[in-house]
Amino acid sequence: MKKYIYGAILALFLALVGYCQYEHHQAVKYQELYSVAAANNKAYESDLAANSEQAKMYQLTVDQLHSSNDSLIQELLQVQKERKIKDSKIEALAYQLSKATRRDTLRLKDTIFVDSVNIDTLISDKWYSLDLSLQYPSTIAVSPTFKSERYVIINAKRETINKPSKIFFIRWFQKKHTVIYVDVEEKNPYITIDKQKFIKIVK
């Protein structure tokens, strides 16, 4: 009889251990999902801030990419499809929209309006050149060239999920998650980044 009682106790104990392990696994899983969701929320707030020199990277699964209504994500997926890249091979996606602007003023002598006068001039510096050609009587040819030199640094930081406490030792015990920062430095002073999005694929 004792043998059956011990067997039942052992079975109950193993079942309890298995249940505790399952609940622990589920708790860790949901904690990770919450952590990633909080990081994505910070990335969204970073997008709204429109800081061209620093952005926060989204962390999305491939399934989340395909179910997203974000037009930029859909365009990125279309490029992926055109290049025949499999979902399993994607590590990250990035998008940047930039523009180049420079205004030049060129003073022309009255002789330009004399019959059969042609003028060719070149305006240039390290980042920009403009080839301007004026051909009598009515042709103006303009060939601007901009050079872009852009540095991109990606780094991960551990941050508190909620607003960090002002008391330093309380911050030690606050829950943290990993936020991925993307620092962008464009050297050309005539080029500005209007919009950007960076996405890390979560496997």
Question: For residue 100, what are its two tokens?
Answer: 């180049």
The answer to whether 191 touches 98, Cβ cutoff 8 Å, is yes
The answer to whether 150 touches 186, Cβ cutoff 8 Å, is yes
Kindly report each contact of residues 165-169 with a partner whose C-beta sits within 8 Å and lies 24 or more positions away, as own/partner.
none
Question: For residue 75, what are its two tokens?
Answer: 């365009």
Confidence of residue 45 (pLDDT cuts 50, 70, 90): confident
pLDDT in tens, 100-109: 998 877 665 5
User: What element of type H or E holds 148?
Assistant: none
pLDDT in tens, 121-156: 778 889 999 888 877 777 888 888 999 999 999 999
Q: Could you tell me how many helices (H) and strands (E) the chain has, helices first?
A: 4, 9
User: What element of type H or E holds 181?
Assistant: strand 176-186
Confidence of residue 43 (pLDDT cuts 50, 70, 90): confident
Cα→Cα distances 86→75, 104, 141, 198, Å:
16, 47, 45, 19
pLDDT at residue 17 greater than cutoff 90 = no
Which is more confidently placed, 106 or 176?
A: 176
Going 57 to 59 to 64 to 65, the CA torsion angle's sign is positive
pLDDT at residue 16 greater than cutoff 80 = no
E strand map for 28-166: 54-56, 58-60, 92-100, 118-124, 128-135, 139-146, 150-160
